[in-house]
Amino acid sequence: MLLIHCPYCAEARPEVEFAYGGQAHIARPLDPSALSDADWEQYLYIRNNPRGRHHERWRHAHGCGRFFNAVRDTVTDKFEVTYPAGEAAR
Amino acid sequence: MSGYRLPTGGRVDRAKSVSFSFDGQSYTGLAGDNLASALVANGVTLFGRSFKYHRPRGILGMGSEEPNALVTVDRGPGRTTPNLRAPSVPLHSGLVASSQNRFPSLKFDLGAVNDKLGAFFPAGFYNKTFMWPRSAWEKLYEPAIRQMAGLGDSPTSRDPDHYASTYAHCEVLVVGAGPAGIEAALAAAQSGDRVILVDEQEEIGGGALADPAQWAWLTDARAQLLALSNVQLLERTTAIAHLHQNFVVAVQRLTDHVAPAQAQGAREKLWRIRAARVVLAQGAIERPLVFDGNDVPGVMLASAGRSLALRFGVAPGHAVAVMATHDSGWHDALALAKAGVHIVAIIDVRDDVSSDLLDAAGAAGIAVHLNHAVIGVGGRHAVKSVTIAAAGSSAARTLSCDCLLMAGGWTPTVHLWSHAKGSLRWDADWAAYLPDSIDDNVIAVGGGAGAWNYGSGVAVSNLPSPKPVHQQKAFVDFQNDVKARDIRLAVQEGFRSIEHIKRYTTNGMATDQGKTSNINGLQIASEVLSKPVTAVGLTTFRPPYTPQTFGALMGHHKDALFQPLRRTVIDDWAVANGAVFENVAQWRRARYFPQGSETMDQAVARECLAVRERVGMFDASTLGKIEVVGPDAAEFLNRMYTNPWKSLEPGRCRYGLLLREDGFIVDDGVSARLAPDRFHLTTTTGGAARVLGMMEDYLQTEWSDLDVWLTSTTEQYAVIAVQGPLARAVIAPLVAGIDLSHEAFPHMAVREGTICGVPTRLFRVSFTGELGFEVNVAAEHGLAVWQAIHEAGQAHGIVPYGTETMHVLRAEKGYIIVGQDTDGTLTPDDAGLGWAVGKKKPDFVGKRSLARPDIVGAGRKQLVGLLTKDPQVVLEEGAQIVADPAQPVPMTMLGHVTSSYHSATLGRSIALAMLVDGRAKLGETIYVPMPGGTIAAEVTGMVFLDPKGSRLDA
């Protein structure tokens, strides 16, 4: 079980307290109706599947309840860093 | 034969004899024995039959690596445990054990015919042989193979034991209490760190248990460990998995070492240990040698012979030969000779062995055959002799003996290192993989790290033999009956990757997970492929290290504790009034309230008619509820739901439809605006947590500029639905501060006041199509208000109803249940809810997707009603729909039935269904093929009762 550092609670807590939220830094388009079908498809479905550094969202669901972003290595499963939602990608 | 117990020596207590039984026969062992040592002491060599060929097998090893001697231990009804390794079964008085995979008896086993037919069962035989006819696989071949090739039988009755679990934290966790692990634990303890030391055996010591010279040290070290308050010593505890960031799972066996009558408390305890540092001191496992006849009972690892003689005081045989390719076999032979065991000869493939060993063997009077190998073993149920020959020579000689020890070198145990994703490096001296690097704070020590000097040796994949390989019964994987020639065959048939060779031959796939077979298999594959071992690869070690009981993994999570059960505040009343319950999203809900001997159908019909004709009451407390508060609350809901919310007046309610961004319905519910900045949202019972999470996601990560707070209030309110033409009359005497008249309080409105003197949010809403109210009161008042309404309703013939009745009533009105009538691929239009989409709204979650080409096109499934031609036939939910019942299979399926009931009000069956282009098929006949015949039905609209909705306005 992973230990995950919640950037709001400032504590490493066990994975069972958290919920995974998919790839990070995909902003919802401000005006979806202006998007072509291809661009909307890109937003809806197309995700990275890297070997190595992966930016992803987590929620401290059974803690403070807040969403944050993380960089995790998909090979080692190690978290490189976690940081509050809204901050630039690390 | 008897007399295998040596007159002296061993750690057994010779003053305490222990009686036990094996295959129905009584034996006597000593306190401190395990099942294997006690049986060998009694002259038993035959422990079981092999997996595939049913060959007679004895013990190979004396630790958890043992592949052959699998037994079932019977501790009473529900307490039989199959597939235990005899050397890992501690002996206690009254132990009842039996062998496995034999019929009718261990000595005379009909399945042994497989051994004679061995040529027909090569690697992958089941893939090749049992292909035709295909239909025979399920009914004939598979059951027959399962019957023949088997492990022990699962217990058939319920396990009466209970199992505990706990979490632990420490600075240093040491796995394995041999000399290296004990020293590591003592050293770590000096610094004051919290130390946990786990060891799988009955007593700590590891290899030192079979070395009397270390016993004084061991006694002292154990006393030190027990005296240290910062050391927790867990004996009989196997570390089964080493997961991320030093999270180690271990299983402690608490009662299996004592007789059932003496067992107290939990049988096993699962430890979840998080350690700042893990020290792996798992030791090494001796490697068997591969030669013709290496599985005859009496052929065993030299380390097993050493353990039997020096730890348990049992001679592995009266005349013992030793086949070595490693110095450790010589050390073991000399130690056994010193303990009084007759060593017939030491055979070694090497022609160059250190003079110290040669001198010592000479001094002990042991015959030595260098540059020789065992080429055959005499005997079937027990070793009678071994045949040896010099390398390259066909001149063979036979040595009479009843035991042959194999010393093929050592394989460091790197399982837990590999679980934690540590990398390995091939070490040519050890001819094995050793721990290399790892990210977490883990170190490997002792034999498991290669830090152990037990002399040198040579790695030999197959002992040299004048016999062709394909004629040899030379086993690599004893438990899965994989022979050297099976691995050669796999390579010849084109398998190159060791992962494929493993799966094709099943080498290393048995319950021992290749502890004794992996490296030998690898070396044979490497040789046949003419590639270095490192180029062949290594299969992955996976948890658990040894097989475990399901009980230990499950712990307390069974029966009532299997998952949380949520009860409403009205649950006690429902129990007292005879409700039949169903579980919905962990809530226990009353399904119907049968009276007398009513069946479900009868009770539901009575409850439905009562609501339509008079009035019913329903516990709707499980509805998800979210309080949405803040200046931007209306703007937020406007963005989340398909409907317009900004125009909703305070005091009014609206049916809300929630989509995902892909345009598909995810939830729905009626919500009320209590004030300009306050909404009382409801969600489906099962969707409450999901909807709150989704809303939090948007609020926190997309629209953090909105000033809105979300609070789950599901459990803060009890909700009582009062539905039916007399609903107003029932609650009127109880309500104060609210004008209940239709004009003042119309359908889809909300008012605040009191009921029975307590504050209420009173909704005028209906999920039945009747005049209806939903009474929201603080949960602590819920039961009292329920009882008061029930009391007040008696004069009006009120009836409590359950979820089954609720389902029928709403289906009569064509109201959908998200998750039953939708399946995550329905848009609002598909569900006939296009009216709930705000056409003028610039955006909401999922809006863009409603313009996707695949969603606006024809050919989508739409929700429709179905009326069977025979009104008494009720369709099955989930049944498939076709247009042409005469079409040969596979038929073109047009959709399926989502809801189906008998409607007492209408006196006939009704159904809802998803149907391709359903609304274009109104009036057409479709067919539902069922095992009992095809059912014809007409496609209709979804509203079966009161299509104008006039009953709502009563």
Pick among B244, B274, B699 to test the A interface (most A CBs inside 10 A): B244
d(CA B252, CA B258): 14
Query: What region, left, alpha or beta, does residue B384 occupy, with left being phi > 0 and alpha being psi -120 to 50 degrees?
Result: alpha
pLDDT number for residue B105: 80
How far is the CA of B1 from the CAs of A64, B39, B402, B413, in angstroms? 70, 11, 11, 36
Q: Which domains does chain A have, with CATH numbers?
A: 3-84 (3.30.2270.10)
Pick among A67, A74, A87 to test the B interface (most B CBs inside 10 A): A67
pLDDT digits (tens, 9 = 90+) for B921-936: 999 999 999 999 999 9
Minimal C-alpha gap between B166 and chain A (Å): 15
Q: Examine the pLDDT at B253 and tell me if it is beyond 80.
A: yes
Q: Average pLDDT in the B201-226 region? A: 97
Q: Average pLDDT in the B548-576 region? A: 94
**What are the contacts of B778-783 at 24+ separation with CB within 8 A?**
B778/B716, B778/B717, B778/B718, B779/B569, B779/B621, B779/B715, B779/B716, B779/B717, B779/B718, B780/B569, B781/B718, B781/B756, B782/B568, B782/B569, B782/B570, B782/B621, B782/B717, B782/B718, B782/B720, B783/B569, B783/B570, B783/B572, B783/B573, B783/B718
Name which residue leads in pLDDT, B909 or B455.
Answer: B909
Q: Which helix (H) or strand (E) holds B477?
A: strand B475-477
pLDDT digits (tens, 9 = 90+) for B280-289: 999 999 999 9
8 A C-beta contact, residue B75 and residue B258: no
Say yes or no for a CB contact (<8 Å) between A33 and B439: no
Say yes or no for a CB contact (<8 Å) between B700 and A67: yes
- Residue B247 tokens read as 């999270």
pLDDT number for residue B142: 67
8 A C-beta contact, residue B376 and residue B387: yes
pLDDT more than 90, % of chain B: 86
Q: Average pLDDT in the B104-123 region? A: 73
Give just the sign of the alpha carbon dihedral B653, B655, B658, B659.
negative
CB-based contacts of B441, cutoff 8 Å, min separation 6? B246, B276, B277, B278
Q: Which residues in chain A have their CB less than 8 angstroms from residue B244's CB?
A: 1-3, 77
Confidence tier at B393 by pLDDT (50, 70, 90): confident
Q: Which of A3, A33, A57 sits opposite B848 (nearest CB)?
A: A33
DSSP string, B220-267: HHHHHHHH-TTEEEE-SEEEEEEEGGGEEEEEEE-STTS-GGG--S-S
Please tell me whether residue B285 adopts helix, strand or coil conformation: strand
Q: Which residues in chain A have their CB less than 8 angstroms from residue B696's CB?
A: 59, 65, 67
pLDDT number for residue B1: 37
Say yes or no for a CB contact (<8 Å) between B696 and A65: yes
pLDDT number for residue B857: 86
**Kind of pairing between the strands at B247-253 and B237-243:** antiparallel
Q: Examine the pLDDT at B139 and tell me if it is beyond 80.
A: no
Q: Which residues in chain A have their CB less than 8 angstroms from residue B843's CB?
A: 31-33
Residue of B nearest to A62 (CA): B693
How far out from the chain centre does Cα B390 lie? 52
Q: Average pLDDT in the B187-205 region? A: 96
Q: Which of A3, A44, A86 sits opposite B245 (nearest CB)?
A: A3
Q: Average pLDDT in the B765-774 region? A: 97
Q: Examine the pLDDT at B145 and tell me if it is beyond 70.
A: no
Say yes or no for a CB contact (<8 Å) between B704 and A77: no
- Residue A60 tokens read as 């401290």
pLDDT digits (tens, 9 = 90+) for B770-804: 999 999 999 999 999 999 999 999 999 999 999 99
- Residue B271 tokens read as 């430890």
Q: Average pLDDT in the B563-587 region? A: 96
Say yes or no for a CB contact (<8 Å) between B847 and A33: yes
Q: Average pLDDT in the B321-331 region? A: 97
8 A C-beta contact, residue B917 and residue B859: yes
pLDDT digits (tens, 9 = 90+) for B636-687: 999 999 999 999 999 999 999 999 999 999 999 999 999 999 999 999 999 9
Confidence tier at B107 by pLDDT (50, 70, 90): confident
Name which residue leads in pLDDT, B110 or B729.
Answer: B729
pLDDT digits (tens, 9 = 90+) for A13-59: 999 999 999 999 999 999 999 999 999 999 999 999 999 999 999 99
C-alpha distance across the termini of chain A, in Å: 24
Q: Average pLDDT in the B815-835 region? A: 96
Q: Average pLDDT in the B353-359 region? A: 96
DSSP-assigned beta bridge partners for residue A14: A3
8 A C-beta contact, residue B382 and residue B402: yes
Q: Which of A32, A61, A66 sits opposite B843 (nearest CB)?
A: A32
pLDDT more than 70, % of chain A: 100
pLDDT number for residue B391: 87
Confidence tier at B114 by pLDDT (50, 70, 90): confident
Nearest partner of B193 among B252, B279, B269, judged by Cα:
B279
Print the SS3 string covering B773-804: EEEEEEHHHHHHHHHHHHHHHHHHCCEECCHH
d(CA B82, CA B156): 12
Q: Average pLDDT in the B614-631 region? A: 98
Q: Which residues in chain A have their CB less than 8 angstroms from residue B168's CB?
A: none
At B727, which amino acid appears? A
d(CA B562, CA B547): 23
Residue of B nearest to A66 (CA): B700
Pick among B274, B691, B701, B703 to test the A interface (most A CBs inside 10 A): B701
pLDDT number for residue B106: 79
Pick among B421, B837, B848 to test the A interface (most A CBs inside 10 A): B848
Q: Average pLDDT in the B503-512 region? A: 89
Q: Which of A40, A65, A78 sits opposite B439 (nearest CB)?
A: A78
C-alpha distance across the termini of chain B, in Å: 95
Q: Average pLDDT in the B58-87 region? A: 95
d(CA B58, CA B3): 18
Q: Which residues in chain B have their CB less than 8 angstroms from residue A27's CB?
A: 702
Mean pLDDT of chain B: 94
Q: Examine the pLDDT at B2 and tell me if it is beyond 60.
A: no
Nearest partner of B328 among B477, B180, B447, judged by Cα:
B447
B interface with A, Cβ–Cβ below 8 Å = 243-245, 247, 272, 274, 421, 439, 661-662, 693, 696-697, 700-702, 704, 842-843, 847-849, 851-853
Q: Which domains does chain B have, with CATH numbers?
A: 13-129 (3.10.20.440), 163-281 (3.50.50.60), 285-410+455-536 (3.50.50.60), 624-712 (3.30.70.1400)
At B417, which amino acid appears? W
Q: Which residues in chain A have their CB less than 8 angstroms from residue B274's CB?
A: 3
CB-based contacts of B410, cutoff 8 Å, min separation 6? B284, B285, B286, B287, B326, B328, B430, B432, B447, B452, B454
Q: Which helix (H) or strand (E) holds B128?
A: helix B125-129
**Beta strand extents in B23-117 (DSSP E only):** 25-31, 48-49, 56-57, 70-74, 80-85, 95-99
User: What is the count of residue pairs from A and B with beta carbons less than 8 Å apart?
Assistant: 57
Q: Examine the pLDDT at B119 and tell me if it is beyond 70.
A: no
Q: Which residues in chain A have their CB less than 8 angstroms from residue B439's CB?
A: 76, 78
Say yes or no for a CB contact (<8 Å) between B693 and A40: no
Minimal C-alpha gap between B700 and chain A (Å): 7
Name which residue leads in pLDDT, B722 or B538.
Answer: B722
Say yes or no for a CB contact (<8 Å) between A1 and B247: yes
pLDDT number for residue B131: 58
Q: Which residues in chain A have their CB less than 8 angstroms from residue B712's CB?
A: none
Say yes or no for a CB contact (<8 Å) between A31 and B843: yes
Pick among A18, A20, A40 to test the B interface (most B CBs inside 10 A): A40
DSSP-assigned beta bridge partners for residue B940: B865
Q: Which of B245, B274, B848 sits opposite A32 (nearest CB)?
A: B848
Q: At what angle do helices B484-492 and B498-505 cross, to 10 degrees?
A: 120
Q: Average pLDDT in the B368-377 region? A: 96
Minimal C-alpha gap between A65 and chain B (Å): 8
Minimal C-alpha gap between A51 and chain B (Å): 15
8 A C-beta contact, residue B98 and residue B24: yes
Q: Average pLDDT in the B532-553 region? A: 91
pLDDT number for residue B291: 96
pLDDT digits (tens, 9 = 90+) for B870-906: 999 999 999 999 999 999 999 999 999 999 999 999 9
Q: Examine the pLDDT at B149 and tell me if it is beyond 70.
A: no
